[in-house]
């Protein structure tokens, strides 16, 4: 279970332990259950397939060897990009970050952009989830994808706010991952299951103020979008991982603060 003094400390420890091939330390950065959700295209060759995984224990997380596969590609180490706290409370933080992989000669091999969901328990801060674009390329203009991802979030929120529950459920991609308070992660497998769950959340109007959805990071087939919603005087901040599925941008996961 994560035991770091700050979200940023847990963020840096994730790759420090990874580069050291420290299996226990690397798994120890996480909080359980731990979710890894990828917006990579279904035919992508990125690691950790299938794209949505929820691990309940360190043993599950470490069951698949990773270092051997990476080293076979020429990988020698990874470097973290500077973390940026996007949204935070006393017990949860969304950190925009990512990494670049290098070979032994120092040549950059690949980069990624991710939002890391950090949560705090009585033991300290740990990593509850990784919301991964898994399609980022340094120097590429993703402005078209950014606009499409923001539109997908705003459209889904409008359906939810107007209580068009079935249409909202149909607009999402499944399995859909929800990252709740510390220690709470679960997946919803279908639109029918989502619609049934949403019928119990109340009938009062939920509003998403115009312009509240903002791109955090983006690739060719995935983006993280921060937003806020209002229900009366109650304001909630949240973040959605959005992925391109069969030509349509759809929300894959949501984490609320």
Final residue of a domain: which of 101, 132, 163?
Answer: 132
Residues 113 and 223 in one domain: no
pLDDT tens, 52-81? 999 999 999 999 778 998 999 999 999 999
In a domain, 230, yes or no: yes
**What are the DSSP E strand ranges found in the chain?**
30-38, 52-55, 75-80, 84-88, 92-103, 108-121, 124-132, 176-179, 185-188, 214-218, 222-231, 234-245, 248-256
pLDDT tens, 232-246? 788 899 999 999 999
Asked whether the beta carbons of 242 and 222 are under 8 A apart, the reply is yes
Residue 207 belongs to domain with CATH number? 3.10.450.50
Query: pTM value?
Result: 0.95
**CA distance linking residue 34 with residue 24, whole number of Å:** 15
Residues 55 and 171 in one domain: no
pLDDT tens, 101-149? 999 999 999 999 999 999 999 999 999 999 999 999 999 999 999 999 9
Asked whether the beta carbons of 254 and 179 are under 8 A apart, the reply is yes
**CA distance linking residue 118 with residue 254, whole number of Å:** 14
Residues 201 and 175 in one domain: yes
Instruction: For 109-123, give one letter per residue: b (16+ CB within 10 A) or e.
Output: eebbbbbbbbbbeee
Residues 48 and 161 in one domain: no
**CA distance linking residue 23 with residue 182, whole number of Å:** 23
**Beta-ladder partners of 179:** 185, 255
Confidence of residue 176 (pLDDT cuts 50, 70, 90): very high
Residues 106 and 148 in one domain: no
Asked whether the beta carbons of 41 and 29 are under 8 A apart, the reply is no
The residue segments making up the domain with residue 203 are 143-256
**CA distance linking residue 94 with residue 174, whole number of Å:** 22
């Amino acid at each position: 279970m994560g035991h770091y003094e700050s979200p940023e400390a847990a963020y840096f420890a994730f790759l420090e332990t990874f580069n050291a091939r420290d299996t226990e330390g690397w798994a120890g950065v996480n909080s359980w259950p731990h979710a890894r959700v990828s917006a990579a295209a279904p035919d992508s060759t990125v690691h950790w397939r299938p794209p949505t995984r929820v691990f309940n224990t360190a043993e599950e997380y470490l069951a698949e060897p990773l270092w051997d596969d990476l080293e076979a590609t020429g990988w020698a180490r990874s470097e973290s990009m500077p973390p940026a706290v996007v949204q935070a409370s006393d017990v949860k933080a969304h950190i925009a970050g990512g990494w670049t992989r290098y070979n032994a000669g120092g040549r950059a091999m690949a980069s990624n952009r991710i939002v890391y969901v950090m949560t705090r328990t009585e033991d300290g801060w740990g990593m509850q989830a990784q919301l991964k674009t898994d399609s980022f390329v340094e120097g590429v203009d993703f402005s078209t994808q950014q606009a499409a991802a923001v539109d997908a979030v705003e459209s889904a929120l409008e359906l939810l706010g107007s209580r068009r529950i079935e249409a909202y459920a149909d607009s999402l991609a499944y399995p859909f991952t929800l990252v709740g308070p510390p220690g709470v992660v679960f997946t919803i497998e279908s639109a029918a299951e989502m619609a049934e769950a949403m019928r119990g959340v109340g009938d009062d109007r939920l509003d998403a103020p115009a312009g509240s959805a903002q791109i955090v990071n983006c690739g060719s087939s995935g983006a993280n979008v921060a937003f806020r919603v209002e229900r009366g005087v109650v304001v909630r901040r949240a973040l959605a991982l959005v992925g391109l599925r069969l030509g349509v941008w759809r929300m894959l996961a949501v984490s609320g603060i």
